[in-house]
Amino acid sequence: MHVAENYQRIREEVPDNVTIVLAGKTRTPEEIREVIEAGATDIGENYVQEAEKMYDSLGEETKKVRWHMIGHLQKNKINKALRIFDVMQTVDSLEKAIDINKRAKETGRTVSVYIEINIGSEMTKAGIKPEYEVVENLVREISELEYLNLEGLMTMGPRFGDPKDSRPYFRETKDIFERIKALNLSRVKMETLSMGMSNSYKFAIEEGSNMVRLGTVVFGERNFKNP
């Protein structure tokens, strides 16, 4: 796989306002270094431990990109996560937000967060219910937490079927996003809508996404035996 070329080709393909977060899970530091050198701006990681290894072996390179937590964040990993991540994309409860806020306060920094919406309402997936009122309530509550900057929404979209069948779910998330934005809450900068992965990013962008999270199309298939 020519990961630098893949990244650059897709970067040219997608509109300028769309941020590409490269999903680093199971990839080597060499692969991540290569995409950073090719101009990548944002890296996503699913596991704190894996992220730490990646981060520490990249040295100075880490400063060239923003780091996004895109996996489930465990309470006992928040301190470690705060050392690395600029953005926590998977906040899906007030409790979690309060925990992150508390740790952020202790370390004296603020952190950007997105609320994860379980748009397909799938039992096995993280994220809050895709009901507007539920999202609005959580937005209002999080906006009062001093050390968090709420800046966006994130969704995985449904896993099933043909990726183009995700369109109505993406549209629904975009609709919630616009309604939250229109509230114009003083402490909320609702700017980023993180949706779309390798098999669905084109549809997600057409439905209003401005951040896609890509792994396979850039790095090739994952080999889970060798994480």
Ligand X SMILES: *Cc1c(COP(=O)(O)O)cnc(C)c1O
List residues near ligand X by CB under 6 A. 23, 25, 46, 70-71, 156, 197-198, 213-216
| Least spacing, CB of residue 183 vs ligand X, in Å | 26
Which residues partner with 87 through β-bridges? Answer: 68, 112
| Least spacing, CB of residue 193 vs ligand X, in Å | 14
Provide DSSP, 181-226.
HHT--TTEEEEEEE---TTTHHHHHHTT-SEEEESHHHH-S--TT-
Under 8 Å between Cβ of 157 and 166: yes
- Identity of the residue, 106 or 165, whose beta carbon is nearer to ligand X in the bound complex: 165
- Identity of the residue, 113 or 156, whose beta carbon is nearer to ligand X in the bound complex: 156
| Least spacing, CB of residue 197 vs ligand X, in Å | 4
| Least spacing, CB of residue 42 vs ligand X, in Å | 12
Q: Which residue is closest to ligand X by CB?
A: 215
What is the separation of C-alpha 147 from the centre of its chain, rounded to a whole number of angstroms? 19
Joined tokens for residue 155? 């969704």
- Identity of the residue, 71 or 158, whose beta carbon is nearer to ligand X in the bound complex: 71
- Identity of the residue, 10 or 94, whose beta carbon is nearer to ligand X in the bound complex: 10
Indicate the DSSP class of residue 116. E
Joined tokens for residue 205? 């962008």
| Least spacing, CB of residue 215 vs ligand X, in Å | 3
- Identity of the residue, 197 or 205, whose beta carbon is nearer to ligand X in the bound complex: 197
Q: How far apart are CA 170 and CA 155, in angstroms?
A: 8
Tell me the HSE value of 67 on the side-chain side, using a 13 A CA sphere: 24
